[in-house]
Amino acid sequence: MTQYLLAVQLDESVPETEEETRTQMARTGRVVDDMKAAGVWVFVGGLKPSHASTVVRPAGGTTTITDGPFAETKEQLGGFWVIRCADLDQALAWAGKCALACGQPIEVRPFDDFSQD
């Protein structure tokens, strides 16, 4: 079984109302319940807006710290699921359910297991 990251690609330039957020959270909560029942769920996390982030960059043997997102763009990582699936097709099926639930694009990326075959 491979673990997959299902990353929610959020457009921060399009604000949501509190009602829209509540509705979206209820729908995504149902998907999480379905994932748990199917035995694929590993972890889920929602993220604060990108302006709440801090970036630590290496520079000449030390680090610099800056406020704000790493990339200056309206599209940001808004949250994610980590799931364990038999194959990419199964992960994509779950990503479709997630996209419909949260109303946002979902990027699917397998974890690298770094195994020595």
pLDDT of 15-73, one tens digit each? 889 999 999 999 999 999 999 999 999 999 999 988 899 999 999 999 999 997 777 77
CATH class entry, domain 2-83+92-110? alpha beta
Of 117, 97, 11, residue with least CA distance to 108: 97
Predicted confidence band of residue 96 (pLDDT cuts 50, 70, 90): very high
pLDDT (0 to 100) of residue 69:
76
Reduce the DSSP state of residue 15 to 3 states and report it: coil
Reduce the DSSP state of residue 32 to 3 states and report it: helix
Q: Is the alpha carbon torsion for 86, 94, 40, 5 positive or negative?
A: positive
Contact between residue 83 and residue 40 where contact means Cβ atoms under 8 Å apart: yes
pLDDT tens-digit map of 74-87: 788 889 999 999 99
pLDDT tens-digit map of 100-109: 999 999 999 9
